[in-house]
Amino acid sequence: MTTDRDHRIHIKSPVGEVLVSTADLDDSRWINFPDIGLRQYLYWVHPETGATIALLEFQKGAGIPVRHTHASNQFMYCIEGKYEYTTSGLVLEAGDFYMNPKDSPHGPTVAHERSLLIEIYDGPHYYEKPEYHTDETMVDSPQPARED
């Protein structure tokens, strides 16, 4: 049975309410990273700060190939799967929450099975474009100067 709730996207201003039903995900809006087995769906991007909320889907065996840092705090919630930060040995499974502070090195990662994660950044993702990104996969947001 389909309800009105199953087919709606509600967005009220760039910093207001957002409601996205999985039935409303537009296949053409997925950002594909074929070299690393990832696809990303941006639910929300703040146009001024670069903060984002996204759905990540890693295929089994896929992951982020290098140790890296972020220009803001990173938060992740594992919806399904088994996703490991290999250097630290931290493993996210369904229901697990992960937080990585700004400028804290982490990775590489590997998905031990297909993994779905919600990823939130409270500001821009990177100081510079990482090697596994292209111009097409970078979120259109400010890239701050690194504070040393």
Question: What pLDDT does 145 receive?
Answer: 60
- Domain membership of residue 50 (yes or no) is yes
R_g over Cα of the chain:
15
Beta-bridge partners for 44? 53
In degrees, rounded to 5, the angle at the alpha carbon of residue 126 between the alpha carbons of residues 52 and 65 is 100
- Domain membership of residue 4 (yes or no) is no
Q: Are 117 and 77 in contact (CB under 8 A)?
A: yes
pLDDT digits (tens, 9 = 90+) for 20-58: 777 778 888 899 999 999 999 998 888 888 899 999 999
Q: How many domains does the chain have?
A: 1
- Domain membership of residue 79 (yes or no) is yes
Q: Are 60 and 114 in contact (CB under 8 A)?
A: yes
- Domain membership of residue 135 (yes or no) is no
* pTM > 0.85: no
List the chain residues with pLDDT less than 50.
1-8, 10, 12-13
Question: What pLDDT does 47 receive?
Answer: 85
What CATH number did the domain enclosing 113 receive? Answer: 2.60.120.10
- Domain membership of residue 131 (yes or no) is no
CA distance 142 to 144: 6
- Domain membership of residue 140 (yes or no) is no
Domain of 103, in residue numbers: 29-121
